[in-house]
Chain A
Amino acid sequence: QVQLVQSGAEVKKPGASVKVSCRASGYTFTSYYMHWVRRAPGQGLEWMGIINPSGGSTSYAQKLQGRVTMTRDTSTSTVYMELSSLRSEDTAVYYCARSTSGWYGGPDYWGQGTLVTVSS
C-alpha cells in the first residue's frame, strides 16, 4: 500500500532554515510527482510546490519563490522540502502528498504531516 512517512516535528528560530523529509513506499517512486502543502494554525491549506522525482524538476508557489527548495533522493525514495529565512508565519503543519498525474494532477495520498514551529 502507498505510504508517505515524514520526519518529526521541528522547532526553529526566526531566520533559520528547516528541512522536512518524506519517504515513499508501496509504489514506483519515480513515476509520481510529489506536492508539498502546508496548513498554518487557524488557516486553510496552502500549496507550496511540486517536484518530479524522476528528473528533479520543480515548480514553486510564487509566494515562496526564493525561500523554498524541493529535492529528491531516488536511492532512498525520499523527497525533501527546505524552507529558509523562517518567520513566525511559517509555523504550520507541512504535508507531502503524491500527485495523481504529473503537474496537473491533484494530491491523492498524503503524509502524516510535520509540525514546524518558528519561535524565538
Chain B
Amino acid sequence: QSVLTQPPSASGTPGQRVTISCSGSSSNIGNNYVYWYQQLPGTAPKLLIYRINQRPSGVPDRFSGSKSGTSASLAISGLRSEDEADYYCAAWDDSLSGWVFGGGTKLTVL
C-alpha cells in the first residue's frame, strides 16, 4: 500500500484533457514539493514536473501540475498516443524521513 494514493488507471481519447490525482497527507504533499514522472514501457522514468508545477526544459506545456492542501494533480491536455505510459507522483515525507511514491497510474489513449 503506497503512502501516496493514485488511481490505478486513467484513459482518454486523442485531443482530450485528462487529470491524474495524487492524495497524501500533511507530512508529505501538504508541506513539501510534489514531483511527477512518466515511465514508458521498458524505459527509465522521466521527470515531467518538479516543485509542484515546474516543467524541465523539453517537456511540452501540455503537461501541468498543481497542488491543493494534501492532494496534487497532473493534467495532460491535447492527449496524444505517445502519452500512453505509467505516471507517478512523489514527495518527501517528513514522518518517514524519506521519499514516497504513488502507486502509479496507467494512462491509456483510446
What is the interface of chain A, defined by CB distance below 8 A to chain B? 35, 37, 39, 44-47, 49-50, 59-62, 95, 97, 100, 103-104, 106-113
Contact = CB atoms under 8 A, between A and B. Distances in A.
B102 A44 contact: yes
Contact of A108 (B33, B50, B91, B92): B50
B15 to A, nearest CB: 28
Contacts of A100: 50
Residues of B in contact with A, size category = 20 to 34
Contact of B47 (A47, A103, A107, A113): A107
Instruction: Give me the 7 closest cross-chain CB pairs, A-B, nearest first.
Output: A106-B35, A44-B104, A47-B99, A110-B44, A45-B101, A44-B103, A108-B47
Contacts, number: 64
Contact of A61 (B44, B98, B103): B98
Given A45-B45, A62-B96, A100-B50, A108 B56 contact: yes
Nearest to B104: A44
Contacts of B46: 110
